[in-house]
Structure 1
Amino acid sequence: MNKKVYIVILNWNGWKDTIECLESVFRSKYNNYKVIVCDNCSNDGSIEKIRQWADGKLKANITDDPRIAFYTSPAVEKPLQYLEYTREQVENGELSIDEPPLILIQTGKNLGFAGGNNVGMRYALAKSDFDYIWLLNNDTVVQNDTLLYLLEHVKGKPQMGICGSTLLFYDNPDKVQAFGGAVYNSWLALSNHIGLYQDYNVPVDYLEIIEKKMDYVVGASMLVKREFLLDIGLMCEDYFLYYEEVDWAIRAKKKYVLGYAPSSIVYHKEGASIGSSSNPLEKSFIADFYANKNRVVFTKKYYPWLLPVVYSSLLISIVNRIRRRQWSRVIFLIKILFSLGEYRHERN
């Protein structure tokens, strides 16, 4: 197996997480890959910090948990060669023939999850020399065989368009965040990660059931086939944050199936840059805003007859925010509920 893989990592004000992720990625046992880091117009000096790391002038922050630190230390050999592009150069095809291990792309503005990752995928499509793209969250650490197991699982399965990994909580690696994907409830416009909070040491012997159950692959780790991209297209940029994965999956449903590689392990910090959390009490304003706004956006697009049900659930959300005295969140939920113009959260 010598298929070329582009690993696309999106950064937004999260250089500490990103360079820890890169330390693990560049220790991969699979060697035919290039890494693309897309920076969504960070204002914390992320690009400069990543440059310093690649030059060997800045060390990554390594966890004290030896189960995870094993995959990030000792540090990979530096310096690492890299090239830097703007989004305009990528979109105009102004790319170098020579390709170092690391490509840095400045997107120029905060394009959101889909928009930022799409820039990296457009680079790969412009080069036209790859077989797979691995979309990997920057707030992750991977084992050195994580990519190998993904590639092994999709081998010989032409209808498998996207494959996911076993996601474990970075701060509690004995607990599962997701067995590859999630189940989507179209009535409530909400998702549930398969296996959430289960003990990881309990063997999973129902792979086929999980793959049939999955409505989409969780975006923290998605191995995407080149044929899938050429056929279905890039991720939809209407959402900015959340619902991109389920939108992608529903567009491809009649042509492709989803996969899950159980032995492909990813330790995930769960939304470190935007304050996402499985616990609604810990969810940041921006995460709460887009999670609720896009329930309506996605339902209007694919299940418009279910809008009354989704609106009813938003009313319940409003009551819950009132009980918590989260008045700013009450306001945006009311605006979403009554569709009072195009209400957006400041993205930068």
Structure 2
Amino acid sequence: MESKVSAVIVTYNRLSLLKEVINSLQNQQTSLSHIIVVDNASKQDTQDYLESLGNQIDYLRLPENIGGAGGFNRGVRHFMEHTDDDYVWLMDDDTVPYPDTLTALLNFAQQQQNFGFLASDVRWTDGHRAKMNRPAPMNRLQVIPENQVEPVQLQNATFVSLLLKRSVVKQIGLPITEFFIWGDDIEYTERAGRIAPGYFVPSAKVVHKMTTNVGSSILNDVPARIPRYFYSYRNKMYYANRRDVYRKNRARARMLYEYLQLYFSRVPQRKERLAVFKSGIKAGQSFNPVVEYANDLEDK
């Protein structure tokens, strides 16, 4: 029997990119059963466009912006409670799949049925790997080359083209809304990876249309983005504490190294950056959100 898939897109005020993403999903070689668009209270033009699509999509407009984490929480919940589809395929509103991306993911899913998640090969607009979405192999000293052909087991992955089985979502629950931004995907895929191995599928390519191909770093990011690093470090503390002893200590050592780099640097707004860093770490020590679970439509 042919597998049924829901795609979930979370969007916020990026209408031109969103149109391209939806178009790419509507033109997949393997047809989707549902395209679920979660709108984090975007401006009127986005609402008008999405409403104009009618029953081509499942449109979830939220009354306020609850961040990417909250958007994915609502989207995955809708998949579980309002569809009977076998898989959910998660992506941001600047993620443009190739026409055969879903086909490649499902082909691997049929070959390797015991998996926690499947992650795409995420490229930037110039064809090179997107730095924010580099695959994280089990051996972090290993670098997966850009010409990789065979699948590789991963520690975690991002919500830039991620496929999960319904049965896994039922076991692990939903993404954590309280994360707001940053790390919700790392935490969620590590949760899934405790159920079954997660894999990088190099044949399933997408383009991540970020403005620039750079990673995120509190050391050199622009001043306007500094406050959001509070969520980065608070959330890192949360999911690092749920790892085994070796990986937990490695994450803490990495954060200490980042702090020392920042402390001894001469970057603009250094004091502000340090204050955000420390407040995030402090908040992370007591941050303990509840993991929510959706009601499964198939159980009704």
TM range (shorter): 0.7 to 0.9
Task: Name the counterpart of 2:236.
Answer: 295
Task: Name the counterpart of 1:265.
Answer: 205
| Residue 147 of structure 1, aligned match among 96, 102, 116 | 102
Q: Kindly indicate whether structure 1 or structure 2 has the higher relative contact order, using CA contacts under 8 Å at least 6 residues apart.
A: 2
Counterpart CA distance in 1 for 2:88 and 2:116 is 11
Counterpart CA distance in 1 for 2:142 and 2:50 is 32
C-alpha distance after superposition, 1:9-45 (max 9, x if no partner): 0001222211121121111111242111101122464
- Could you tell me whether the CA contact under 8 Å between 1:35 and 1:102 is conserved in 2? yes
For structure 1, which runs of at least 5 residues remain unmatched after alignment?
56-79, 83-99, 186-190, 344-348
AA paired with 1:237? T
Report how many residues are paired: 279
Counterpart CA distance in 1 for 2:130 and 2:215 is 9
Cα offset for 1:227? 0.8
Task: Name the counterpart of 1:331.
Answer: 275
Counterpart CA distance in 2 for 1:337 and 1:228 is 30
AA paired with 2:176? C
Cα offset for 1:286? 4.9
Task: Name the counterpart of 1:19.
Answer: 19
- SS state at 2:116 partner: strand
Larger Rg: 1
Change (3 A) 1:297 1:48: same
C-alpha distance after superposition, 1:315-342 (max 9, x if no partner): 3253266533344323212323555999
Change (3 A) 1:321 1:226: farther
Task: Name the counterpart of 1:163.
Answer: 118
C-alpha distance after superposition, 1:67-124 (max 9, x if no partner): xxxxxxxxxxxxx4x2xxxxxxxxxxxxxxxxx3211101222222222112112112
Larger fraction in strand: 1
Higher mean C-alpha deviation, range 134-143 or range 120-129: 120-129
| Residue 185 of structure 2, aligned match among 241, 245, 248 | 245
Normalising by structure 1, we get a TM-score of: 0.69
- Could you tell me whether the CA contact under 8 Å between 1:239 and 1:297 is conserved in 2? no
For structure 2, which runs of at least 5 residues remain unmatched after alignment?
288-300
1:132 paired with 2:64, answer no
Percent identity (aligned):
21
C-alpha distance after superposition, 1:186-208 (max 9, x if no partner): xxxxx89954xx6x5xx324x25
Cα offset for 1:133? 0.6
- SS state at 2:121 partner: strand
CA RMSD of aligned residues (A): 3.3
1:36 paired with 2:54, answer no
